Amino acid sequence: MGFKSDIQATNVSLSMTGRNTDGDLATTLDGALTAGSTSVVVDDITGFPTTADGGGVLEIGTELIKYTTLTAGTKTFSGLTRNYNLQTNDAGLIHNDGVAVEGYNIVVGGTTLGIPLRLKALSVSSSGAATGEIVLVTGSTYTALSLDIPSGSIFTLNIPGSGILCPRGILIQTALNLTGITAFTDKFSGPNLTTTNG
């Protein structure tokens, strides 16, 4: 296994518009989904990552769905990668009308299989309104990092050793009282390396 030594910085501007008091983007499904559905319609899209943001990820039940396009007029997400978290339960791909939907911003990641990487450092800026909070998850909803950010601060965390393995990319599950994030990652590659190594 070999590692590249280059560090990549990715900046994400965050809006608190549409986030609930817990810092989550939440809405409900407007119409049932089958395992073969190619678009998702919801009741409210306020604050959800748009096409210009490169899309985002939806969590519905136990399924993560990556999308590339958000059509505001119809509140429809398309360009879907269903079962982004590679769950093995096909019943988890069927969703009833009215169920909860959460939205995640993509920090790093984006191909069908995600981009294997290690999070080496993180810089987060607080809006100054109150104590901030950020929760980062991998492409399988496992919490990679959860931090409270002092009000009015820019907080930088250097992660020792090899960093945090994020085989399917890094997603923002929760963002509260924040204005932006910069993730510093070390991409890795090598023979026989898959998205489950680490």
Residues 185/7, Cβ–Cβ less than 8 Å: yes
Grade residue 11 by pLDDT with cuts at 50, 70 and 90: confident
Q: Is the pLDDT of residue 190 over 50?
A: no
- The predicted pLDDT at position 9 comes to 77
- The predicted pLDDT at position 8 comes to 74
* Residues paired with 184 in a beta bridge: 9, 121
> First-to-last CA distance in the chain?
11
Tell me the CA distances in angstroms from 47 to 14, 19, 102, 129, 151, one per residue in order. 9, 7, 11, 18, 22
What mean pLDDT comes out for the span 22-31?
Answer: 94
CATH of domain 2-17+107-189: 2.60.40
Distance CA 42, CA 40 (A): 7
Domain boundaries, the chain: 2-17+107-189, 26-103
- Residue 91 three-state SS: helix
Neighbours of 118 (CB within 10 A): 19
pTM: 0.83
pLDDT digits (tens, 9 = 90+) for 130-189: 999 999 988 666 788 899 999 999 999 999 888 888 777 788 999 999 998 998 887 654
Distance CA 66, CA 46 (A): 17
